[in-house]
Amino acid sequence: MRIAVGQFAVAEDWAANLKSCQALVDEAVAGGADLLVLPEDSMALFIDEPMRIAEAAQPLDGPFLSGLLERTAGSSTTVVVGMHEPAGDGKVHNTLAALRDGALVATYRKVHLYDAFGARESDRVRPGGGEPVVFECAGWQVGLMTCYDVRFPEMARLLVDRGAELLVLPAAWVRGPAKEWHWEVMVTARALENTCYVAASGECGRRNIGASMVVDPLGIVRGRLADGPGLLWASADREELAAARRKLPVLANRRFFVDPSMR
């Protein structure tokens, strides 16, 4: 599988962000990508007034996602992109949408909300129902996670239990003391402890670190971006995945299993 991971500085204007996403889609398609991963909430970002996200939220058939669906028509490249959609009662869902050839192939609504480091995502966002979402892309099983989800290893394990061979992780990872280290450690750990690939896209700009990366099943970072806009390229290889799981059979050797029920 040929993977592209894009990062850019998300603005408040959804139309400007749509153009940025479309440009990355065009570049990924031209480069023969099977999968393009874009950041969490690529649709709009309000740094100083986060409650405004409810005003900017759009349904899945709104103009932002429709504009991206049109851009993928006629292409085999799958695009995973983050957005906010209305959830009722003035709240929104933090949603990932997977698009291919003009159609919506999967959606995931973020389960673990970022109520940490002084932030309160739950004040404006309603969590999803918790069902692991895995879909097929170029013959691979791909699991969906969003940002803060990476701090919960059981989330990744549930996806791998559902057959995921590659975990996709769009994020808007906020800067702060040791936060870049947290990001790298946990993205790498989720790959290594599950012997799977992880493709993580980070929003860059005034608030967030960027630092997109692709990690292989033995925890080796195959490529990364810094803190500016760009497109990262990497590959996932089925023989490499099988060899890693033979060499490090942690999935076969484990003694405990994750209970998928929500508390």
Please list the active-site residues: 40, 110, 147
Cβ atoms of residues 164 and 142 within 8 Å = yes
Q: Which amino acid is at 250?
A: V
Cβ atoms of residues 46 and 172 within 8 Å = no
Residues 39, 7: Cα–Cα separation, whole Å: 6
Residues 201, 213: Cα–Cα separation, whole Å: 7
CA atoms within 13 A on the CB side of 99: 31
Three-state secondary-structure class, residue 53: helix
